[in-house]
C-alpha cells in the first residue's frame, strides 16, 4: 500500500523589489514507486500548487531522545561544491563549542540529543562524523527556474548512493547545496519530514539550522503583531523561529514553541484567568517566571504560563525573555515579558504571534478573552529580582480597583526625576523598583508627549529601615538613548534634600539608598503599571552603514529607493528590519 502526504515548504527569498518574499506552497512526498526521468527509483520531492495543506501532518521527528543526523554535501557534475569542506561542516554542526548540536542540546537541557551518523549505510557506504559527499549528474551553473529540480536531483542521488533515506538509520537529513547562480534562497524545509535543504553559505549556520530543524520538529514561524494590526512575518526575533541572527548562536525558542517542545514541562502551568483563584482569597494571581537559561534554578518559577481559551482556537503564552547564557543572543525585547498568541489547535503545526513585550512596570490587556465580550484580562509586569520576573494576571471585571492601589503604609520621602525629552518623547519610559526583595515597582514615569521639553516628576518612595535600596531604570524603545542624534535629551534624579543622585542621557540604571523615617505619610498610589504603547511601524532613525566595504552611511529612504531592502547585514538580517516603513514591510 502507498500513501501520499501533503507537506508545506518555506523559503526566504527576494522578490523583484528587493523585499523578502516568504512563499508557502504545498509539496507532495511521493511513495517509493515514483520513477524519476533519469530512470532512478527514489522518494521524490516535487511541487504541487493545487494540493491543499492540512494542519495535521505525518508524525514529526521526536522532540526528546536521540536524533541520528546526517548532512549530505552535494557536488555537481562540474565538481562545484559547497563552500565548506566535510571537516568544516562536522565542526560547525557537531563539534564546535558553539555548534548546532551544542545549542539545541543546551536549549533542551539534553532532553534532545543530536547524534552524528557514523557507520555503514544500506548501500555499503561508510560515513564518519555525520557528513557525507554525494555527487549529482546536474550542472548547477546552468541555473533553473525551479530550485526543486536541484533538490529532487540531490535527493534521488543520495537515495541511490547512500541507501533508503526513509530508513530508521536517519532521523534528520540535511542537504548542503553547492552555490547556484541567481539563487537567493537561504534554506528550505518540508513540514512533517526529516528533510531540510541549505544554500552553500548557510549549511553550518547555527541560527539557520535551529530554525529549519525547528520546522522538522513541528514548529511554525514566529511572527509579530504591530499596533496597526499588521503581522510581520518572522517578526518575533526573540527566538529561533523568527528572523535569525548570525552574530550570536545563543538563542533558543519562544514561550509558545517551548511549550510545544515539552522540554520544560515541570515548569509549565496552564490556567483559565477568568476562572482562577490562586490562594482562595480575592488577591490578584501572581506568577514568577524564569528565562530558559534559568530553567531548574527556581523550581517554584515557571518558564511558560499558558492562558487557555477553551472556546477559541488560539491560546496565549507568557514567558520571560531573559537575555542570558544559552539565550543571550535573543535579538529583541531583551529581559521583557513576552505575550504570544498561537494560531491553530494546541500542539498542531501553527504559527505564533508576539502580541506584546513588556518592560518592568508595563501592562497589556487581552480584550474579550475566550470570546467573552467585555471580559478582559490584564497582564502586569510588577517585579524583577535575580532573574525572577513577577507578573500579575487579572480578570479586569472581577478585580476590585482598590486592590491595585499600592501602599505599604508608613512613611515615604519625595524624590524628583527630571527628564528632558528628545525628538521622540514617546520612546522614553522609566521605573523605580526595589533593588532586592521582590524587585517590586514603586514608581513609574508619566507618558511623555512633547519633544525637547523638560518635565519634572515627584515620586514619594516608601521609607525603609532594612537597608533595601532602590533602582532607577530608564528605557528607550529604539535603544539609541535620549542624546544626541535626535535632540539633546537627558535625565537627572534628586533626593529629598535636593542633592543630585544620578544623571545621564542613555538607557541605563542607577541604584540609590532609601530614606529612613521621613515622617511623611505614604499615600495610596494608583496602579503602578503603565499600559503598553506599541509603536507603529517605524524606520530606524540613524543612517545605516549597510555596505561594510564603504564608509558612507545611508538613510532608509535611500535604501528603499535603490531596492536595497533585502541586502543582508553582517548579522544575517535584511536591511528592511531596520527600515520597515520605507521598505513597505509593515505587514506580512
Q: How would DSSP label each residue in 471-504? A: EEEEEETTSS-SEETTEE-EEEEE-TTS-EEEEE
- The answer to whether residue 457 scores a pLDDT higher than 80 is yes
Residue 574: what pLDDT?
A: 73
Residue 400: what pLDDT?
A: 65
Tens of pLDDT, residue by residue over 328-371, are: 999 889 999 999 999 866 556 789 999 999 988 889 999 999 99
Residue 463: what pLDDT?
A: 85
Tens of pLDDT, residue by residue over 112-151, are: 999 999 999 999 999 999 999 999 999 988 876 566 788 9
Residue 282: what pLDDT?
A: 59
Q: Are 214 and 257 in contact (CB under 8 A)?
A: yes
Mean pLDDT score, 170-191: 89
pLDDT bin (cut points 50, 70, 90) of residue 10 is very low
DSSP string, 364-413: EEETTGGG-TT--EEEEEEEEETTEEEEEEEEGGGS-GGGG-B--SSBEE
pLDDT bin (cut points 50, 70, 90) of residue 401 is low
Mean pLDDT score, 308-325: 91
Mean pLDDT score, 59-83: 92
Tens of pLDDT, residue by residue over 212-264, are: 999 999 999 999 988 778 888 899 999 999 987 666 789 999 999 999 999 99
C-alpha cell at 105: 542540546
pLDDT bin (cut points 50, 70, 90) of residue 455 is very high
Residue 529: what pLDDT?
A: 52
- The answer to whether residue 46 scores a pLDDT higher than 90 is no
Task: Report which secondary-structure segment, H or E, holds 573.
Answer: none
- On average, the pLDDT of the chain sits at 81
- The answer to whether residue 47 scores a pLDDT higher than 50 is no
Domains of the chain: 5-218 (no CATH), 234-391 (no CATH), 412-525 (2.60.40), 539-588 (no CATH)
Residue ranges of the alpha helices (H) in 119-205?
148-161
Q: Are 341 and 353 in contact (CB under 8 A)?
A: yes
Q: In this prediction, what percent of the chain has a pLDDT beyond 70?
A: 77
Cα 533 from Cα 235, distance rounded (Å):
18
- The answer to whether residue 586 scores a pLDDT higher than 80 is no
Tens of pLDDT, residue by residue over 98-115, are: 999 999 999 999 999 999
The residue ranking higher by pLDDT, 563 or 521, is: 563
Lowest mean pLDDT among 182-186, 197-201, 342-346, 488-492: 342-346
Other C-beta atoms lying within 10 Å of the C-beta of residue 37: 8
Q: How far is CA 430 from CA 505, 506, 522, 528, in A?
A: 13, 12, 21, 12
Highest mean pLDDT among 34-38, 286-290, 386-390, 474-478: 286-290
pLDDT bin (cut points 50, 70, 90) of residue 462 is confident
Give the closest residue to 89 by CA, choosing from 74, 109, 68, 67. Answer: 74
- The answer to whether residue 195 scores a pLDDT higher than 60 is yes
Residue 38: what pLDDT?
A: 27
Cα 58 from Cα 134, distance rounded (Å):
27
Residue 410: what pLDDT?
A: 66
pLDDT bin (cut points 50, 70, 90) of residue 60 is low
Cα 536 from Cα 227, distance rounded (Å):
6
Q: Are 319 and 334 in contact (CB under 8 A)?
A: no
- The answer to whether residue 210 scores a pLDDT higher than 80 is yes
Tens of pLDDT, residue by residue over 506-555, are: 988 899 988 876 656 555 455 555 554 444 456 765 667 656 556 677 78
- The answer to whether residue 44 scores a pLDDT higher than 70 is no
Give the closest residue to 142 by CA, choosing from 181, 111, 97, 199. Answer: 181
- The answer to whether residue 433 scores a pLDDT higher than 70 is yes
Residue 192: what pLDDT?
A: 76
- The answer to whether residue 374 scores a pLDDT higher than 70 is yes
- Angle, CA 389 vertex, CA 345 and CA 437 arms, to 5°: 155
Cα 377 from Cα 386, distance rounded (Å):
27
Cα 427 from Cα 479, distance rounded (Å):
9
Question: 3-state class of 151 per DSSP?
Answer: helix
Amino acid at each position: 500500500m502507498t500513501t501520499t502526504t501533503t507537506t508545506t515548504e518555506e523559503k526566504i527569498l527576494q522578490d523583484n523589489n528587493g523585499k523578502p518574499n516568504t512563499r508557502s506552497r504545498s509539496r507532495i512526498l511521493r511513495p517509493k514507486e515514483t520513477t524519476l526521468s533519469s530512470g532512478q527509483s527514489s522518494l521524490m520531492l516535487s511541487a504541487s500548487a493545487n494540493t491543499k495543506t492540512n494542519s495535521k501532518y505525518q508524525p514529526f521527528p521526536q522532540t526528546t531522545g536521540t536524533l541520528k543526523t546526517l548532512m549530505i554535501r552535494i557536488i555537481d557534475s562540474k565538481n562545484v561544491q559547497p563552500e565548506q569542506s566535510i571537516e568544516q561542516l562536522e565542526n560547525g554542526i557537531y563539534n564546535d563549542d558553539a555548534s548546532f548540536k551544542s545549542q539545541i542540546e543546551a536549549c533542551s537541557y539534553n532532553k534532545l540529543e543530536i547524534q552524528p551518523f557514523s557507520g555503514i549505510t544500506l548501500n555499503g557506504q561508510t560515513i564518519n562524523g555525520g557528513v557525507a559527499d554525494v555527487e549529482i549528474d546536474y550542472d548547477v551553473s546552468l541555473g533553473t527556474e525551479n530550485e526543486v529540480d536541484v533538490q529532487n536531483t540531490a535527493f534521488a542521488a543520495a537515495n541511490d548512493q547512500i541507501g533508503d533515506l526513509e530508513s530508521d538509520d536517519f532521523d534528520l537529513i540535511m542537504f548542503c547545496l553547492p552555490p547556484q547562480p541567481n539563487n537567493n534562497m537561504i534554506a528550505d524545509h518540508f513540514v512533517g519530514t526529516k528533510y531540510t535543504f541549505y544554500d552553500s553559505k548557510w549549511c553550518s549556520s547555527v541560527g539557520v539550522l535551529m530554525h529549519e530543524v525547528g520546522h522538522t520538529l513541528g514548529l511554525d514561524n514566529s511572527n509579530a503583531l504591530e499596533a496597526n494590526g499588521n503581522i510581520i512575518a518572522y517578526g518575533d526575533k526573540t527566538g529561533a523561529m523568527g528572523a535569525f541572527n548570525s552574530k550570536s548562536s545563543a538563542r533558543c525558542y519562544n514561550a509558545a514553541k517551548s511549550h510545544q517542545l515539552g522540554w520544560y514541562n515541570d515548569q509549565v502551568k496552564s490556567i483559565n484567568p477568568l476562572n482562577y483563584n490562586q490562594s482562595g482569597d480575592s488577591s490578584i494571581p501572581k506568577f514568577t517566571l524564569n528565562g530558559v537559561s534559568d530553567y531548574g534554578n527556581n523550581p517554584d518559577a515557571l518558564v511558560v504560563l499558558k492562558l487557555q481559551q477553551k472556546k477559541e482556537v488560539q491560546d496565549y503564552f507568557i514567558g520571560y525573555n531573559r537575555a542570558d547564557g544559552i539565550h543571550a543572543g535573543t535579538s529583541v525585547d531583551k529581559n521583557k515579558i513576552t505575550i504570544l498568541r498561537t494560531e491553530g489547535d494546541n500542539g498542531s503545526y501553527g504559527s505564533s504571534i508576539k502580541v506584546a513585550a513588556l518592560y518592568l512596570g508595563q501592562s497589556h490587556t487581552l480584550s474579550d478573552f475566550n470570546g467573552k465580550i467585555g471580559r478582559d484580562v490584564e497582564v502586569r509586569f510588577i517585579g524583577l529580582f535575580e532573574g525572577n520576573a513577577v507578573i500579575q494576571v487579572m480578570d479586569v471585571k472581577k478585580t476590585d480597583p482598590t486592590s491595585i492601589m499600592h501602599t505599604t503604609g508608613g512613611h515615604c520621602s519625595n524624590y524628583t526625576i527630571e527628564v528632558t525629552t528628545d525628538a521622540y518623547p514617546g520612546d522614553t519610559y522609566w521605573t523605580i523598583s526595589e533593588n532586592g526583595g521582590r524587585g517590586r515597582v514603586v514608581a513609574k514615569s508619566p507618558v511623555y508627549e512633547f519633544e525637547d521639553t523638560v518635565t519634572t516628576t515627584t515620586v514619594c518612595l516608601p521609607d525603609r529601615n532594612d537597608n533595601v535600596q532602590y533602582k532607577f531604570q530608564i528605557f528607550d524603545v529604539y535603544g539609541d538613548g535620549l542624546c544626541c542624534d535626535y535632540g539633546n535629551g537627558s535625565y537627572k534624579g534628586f533626593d529629598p534634600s535636593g542633592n543630585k543622585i544620578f544623571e545621564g542621557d542613555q538607557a541605563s540604571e542607577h541604584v540609590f539608598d532609601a530614606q529612613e523615617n521621613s515622617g511623611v505619610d505614604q499615600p495610596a498610589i494608583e496602579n503602578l503599571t503603565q499600559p503598553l504603547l506599541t509603536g507603529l511601524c517605524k524606520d530606524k532613525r540613524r543612517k545605516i552603514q549597510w555596505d561594510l566595504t564603504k564608509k558612507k552611511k545611508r538613510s532608509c529612504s535611500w535604501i528603499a529607493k535603490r531596492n536595497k531592502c533585502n541586502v543582508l547585514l553582517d548579522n544575517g538580517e535584511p536591511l528592511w528590519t531596520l527600515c520597515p516603513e520605507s521598505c513597505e514591510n509593515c505587514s506580512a
